[in-house]
Structure 1
Amino acid sequence: MAKILIIEDDLTTRLILKQSLYNAGHEVIIAETGESGLEKAKQLHPDLIICDWMMPVMDGLEVCRRVKNTPQLATIFFILLTGREEIDDRVKGLDSGADEFLLKPIDINELKARVRAGLRLGKLMQDLWRSNQALADLNQQLLYRNQMLELMSLTDPLTGLLNRRALQQTLPNLMQEIRRRDPVNLYRYLGVFMIDVDRFKTVNDNYGHGVGDAVLKILASRLMSGAVMKSSLYRYGGEEIACLLPLSNDNYAGEYGESMRLAIADKPFEISPTLSLNITISIGGVIWSADYLPGGTPSTSTLNYADELLNQADIALYQAKRDGRNCLRIKEFN
């Protein structure tokens, strides 16, 4: 049994349609105006609509347009009931979205035949719509999974920080952004820091790698808690972490590097209720300006200078280690 909505302002035509469709075993819904018919279509989602063309206020063409422009109703088979036989009128009806025409006066056998055909086609359209929806949902799920896989490929699973691959992608792009001298971009310098946990091997040797992992998690959490806007942290490898910090001037780099050092050194790491460790870090930093990047091919020169930036930050880190650890050493890029 199908649910059929009849929208017709003429009482006699309504009765003929209702009785004929009821005798054919269908559930019949009646609306006497275009406005009420449209509301019932939205509320009840019939399988097929038969609508008179000539009605006051909202005629059948307008009802049809609104039905077909409503995504939830667009697949409903729409039969336009009319006394017009001219080609131009048929074209108008088709342009409004009508699927079929039924001429007045109504032939009952033709009515039943067109309804049967309309219900078959309507079911096919609805099945196709559902299939398309399922495909769209599947595509959305695949997109989400791909985004998650991409995110996972750029994230260190232990610390939750970005990983070395992410750093290698971000650093050249960030240098290019600073180099463009966009008047909206306030950043003219870039601070690159390499951070290393002091005597981390001793922690692993004395307490095991599980404790070492816990130290790295706490370390990452503290550094992230103190991070400022535009800065980014990356697990570079082992116990070494990189930090990128765009700067409007080069004076803030030392202050920020020292804040990272103190965030780790000033408070013991509570590994468990029975184990507390005093952890310190050594930090090496290099300050880069867009003035250091010569002309030529931007992509090639930027990649080369990105590698050199990391190398010089490492050199500054080794200097911090030589100077007794738990300290910050910063140099200008050269």
Structure 2
Amino acid sequence: MKILVAEDESTPALFLRRTLERLGHDVVVALDGMKAWELLQQGELRLVITDWMMPGLDGLELCRKIRGQGDSAYTYIILLTAREGLQDRLAGLNAGADDFLSKPTDPAELAARVAIAGRIVAMQEELERKNLQLAELATTDGLTGLKNRRCFNENLITACSFAVRYGYPLSLVMIDVDHFKSLNDSFGHPAGDSVLATLAGILRSETRDHDIVARYGGEEFAILLPATAAAEASLLAERLRSLTTSYPWPQRPITVSVGVATTGGDLATWSELLEAADRALYHSKRSGRDRITHHDSFTQDVVSHSTCDSLKA
């Protein structure tokens, strides 16, 4: 474990360093509180052993600054002190210390306290890892590995707000697999799932790292293209359509219908952009499928929900 020792006296600092290194730890020494704080900003140090009394920034203030970092990874703090009074210990705990070591420090006690710290840090790291996994699961579609609809909608709202505020174009591409229901009926749902997962891979491979690609629901996908004008978005949409059509699908040929919309003109909010892309998608459906439509290129008539549902069949 990498340990930061903050101790302004050279002899105790050397003792701590050598003892901890004999225990197999990687030790960094700071001779004052400000240097310790600087080192903490440069890299992740999960255990800090700090003296109470130091020039510039004492141990209590260092504890408070570490705890004030908020959502950063948890740092375990052992406070070195010759103070034994209850009020002093309470002051240390209130400042954010996890444990105490008496000065002068006994090597056996140091080893025991550090071992306890190591177990707690390991448990905390595992908890953080699991929390990251849960956060990823909450935003990811399990079948395709793409962002899910909830995550996509959150990104859409934010991206549209920035696009309007700063005057850059934002394009939205909506993609729907043609005749997907009949594919499931003919070959079974595992075959349909395989098509969706493969199509997700095509979409990921042809988009940029900062584009947001999501499974919007069922056989429908959505791609958010920041700083992308209508012509560029239409070219990408056509490339995706063509790649899908030419892919060697095992059961039968697969095609997609695509709708594209770009901010500007009458599209200034996320809901307007989404509605325009959706209308463009269903225009592609009504026009024969296996094609793309940009919302600027047709008369935007209203499509009823019943018509939309029948076109998906």
Q: TM-score with structure 1 length normalisation? A: 0.58
Query: Residues 211 and 124 from structure 1, CA distance in 2 versus in 1: closer, same or farther, beyond 3 angstroms?
Result: same
Partner Cα distance (1:327, 1:64) in 2: 65
Structure 2 residue 302 is the aligned partner of structure 1 residue 317: no
% identical aligned pairs? 31
What residue in structure 2 maps to residue 108 of structure 1? none
Task: Work out the CA distance in 2 between the residues paired with 1:135 and 1:154.
Answer: 29
Quick one: distance in 1 between partners of 2:236 and 2:139?
25
Seen in structure 2, the aligned counterparts of structure 1 residues 286 and 315 have a Cα distance that, compared at 3 Å, is same
Cα 1:133–1:39 change in 2 (3 A) is closer
Larger Rg belongs to = 1
Code of the residue aligned with 1:203 in structure 2: it is: L
- 1:236 corresponds, among 208, 216, 229, to 216
| Mapped partners of 1:317, 1:291: distance in 2 | 18
1:218-251 per-position Cα deviation (integer Å, ceiling 9, x unaligned): 1111111111343221111110001111235332
SS of the equivalent of 2:202 reads helix
The 5 Å alignment of 1:201-280 reads 201-270=181-250, 276-280=251-255
Distance 2:215 2:106 in 1: 59
The whole-number CA distance in structure 2 between the counterparts of 1:316 and 1:217 is 24
Residues 191, 287 of structure 1: 8 Å contact kept: yes
Aligned to 1:179: 164
Given the superposition, is the C-alpha separation of residues 290 and 180 from structure 1 closer, same or farther in structure 2, using an over 3 Å criterion? Answer: farther
Change (3 A) 1:289 1:133: farther
* Per-residue CA distance 1:113-161 (angstroms, 9 max, x = gap): xxxx989954344323322232222222212211110111111111111
Question: Does the 8 A contact of 2:241 with 2:291 survive in 1?
Answer: yes
Is there any run of 5+ residues in structure 2 with no aligned partner, and where? 1-10, 37-44, 51-79, 83-101, 301-313
Give the C-alpha shift of residue 64 in structure 1. 12
1:306-333 CA-partner distances (Å, limit 9, x unpaired): 2332222111111000000000001149
- 1:133 and 1:256, CA in 2 relative to 1: closer, same or farther beyond 3 A? same
Please give the secondary structure, in 2, of the residue aligned with 1:142.
helix
**Quick one: distance in 1 between partners of 2:15 and 2:284?**
80
Matches within 5 A, 1:36-55: 44=22
Cα distance in 1 for partners of 2:15, 2:291 equals 78
- Which amino acid in 2 is paired with 1:324? G
Matched, 1:145 2:130: yes
Q: RMSD across aligned C-alpha pairs, in angstroms?
A: 3.9
Q: Secondary structure at the match of 1:180?
A: helix
Give the Å deviation of 1:45: 5.3
Measure how far apart 1:291 and its partner are: 8.4
CA spacing shift, 1:325–1:123, aligned 2, 3 Å: same
TM-score of the pair, normalised by structure 2: 0.61
Are the counterparts in 2 of residues 178 and 290 from structure 1 also a CA contact under 8 Å? no
Residues 3-22 of structure 1 aligned to structure 2 (within 5 Å): none
Tell whether 2:177 aligns with 1:197: yes
Change (3 A) 1:122 1:323: same
Q: For 1:84-117, what per-residue CA distance to the aligned partner results, in whole angstroms no more than 9, with x for missing partners?
A: xxxxxxxxxxxxx897xxxxxxxxxxxxxxxxx9
| Residue identity opposite 2:149 in structure 1 | R
Count of matched residue pairs: 227
Alignment of 1:97-112 (within 5 A): none
Q: Which amino acid aligns with 1:310?
A: L
**CA contact under 8 A between 1:42 and 1:73: conserved in structure 2?**
no
